[in-house]
């Protein structure tokens, strides 16, 4: 099964770093597609196209920033519910915010599996790969926050 990870972040440098570390960490036997968008609306349009063509579902994962202009990560989650009300598409929040209120709000969302603070690092990438791609369960809970 092909897994697509969609990175949605208004910061192109953050996307570049995340993509580089993710690509470097993939096992050559894994079929992973990385797609990125600096504009959340374009990411939603891409997801809608995948869902309309029945290409997405359990194999579609999102790495989502919170603080973006025009459409915040919170608004993106609300809009995503319109396209995927069954919440098959899973999300990792990836933000520079270290505010406990943001972390708690993210982890309270039933679509969000974890919260990872920027910058992206090798350990965080391995958590993403193990959870999203290899379906290795998280210890004691299905959610975690990582600084």
| Residue 39, SS3 per DSSP | coil
Residues 6 or more apart in contact with residue 27 via CB below 8 angstroms: none
Report pLDDT for 116. Answer: 87
32-37/90-95 β-pairing: unpaired
**Mean pLDDT computed over 75-102:** 91
Tens of pLDDT, residues 99-116? 999 999 999 999 998 888
Residue matched to tokens 């809970």: 141
Q: Phi, psi at residue 37, to the nearest 5°?
A: -140, 135
């Amino acid at each position: 099964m092909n897994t697509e990870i969609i990175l949605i972040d208004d910061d192109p440098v953050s996307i570049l770093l995340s993509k580089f570390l993710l690509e470097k960490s993939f096992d050559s036997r894994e079929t992973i597609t990385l797609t990125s968008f600096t504009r959340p609306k374009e990411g939603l349009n891409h997801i809608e196209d995948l869902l309309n063509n029945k290409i997405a579902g359990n194999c579609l994962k999102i790495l989502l920033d919170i603080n973006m202009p025009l459409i915040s990560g919170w608004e993106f989650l609300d809009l995503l519910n319109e396209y995927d009300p069954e919440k098959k598409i899973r999300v990792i929040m990836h933000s520079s915010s270290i505010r406990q209120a943001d972390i708690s709000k993210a982890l309270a969302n039933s679509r969000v599996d974890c919260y990872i603070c920027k910058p992206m690092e090798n350990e965080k990438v391995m958590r993403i790969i193990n959870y999203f791609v290899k379906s290795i369960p998280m210890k004691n809970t299905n959610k975690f926050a990582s600084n």
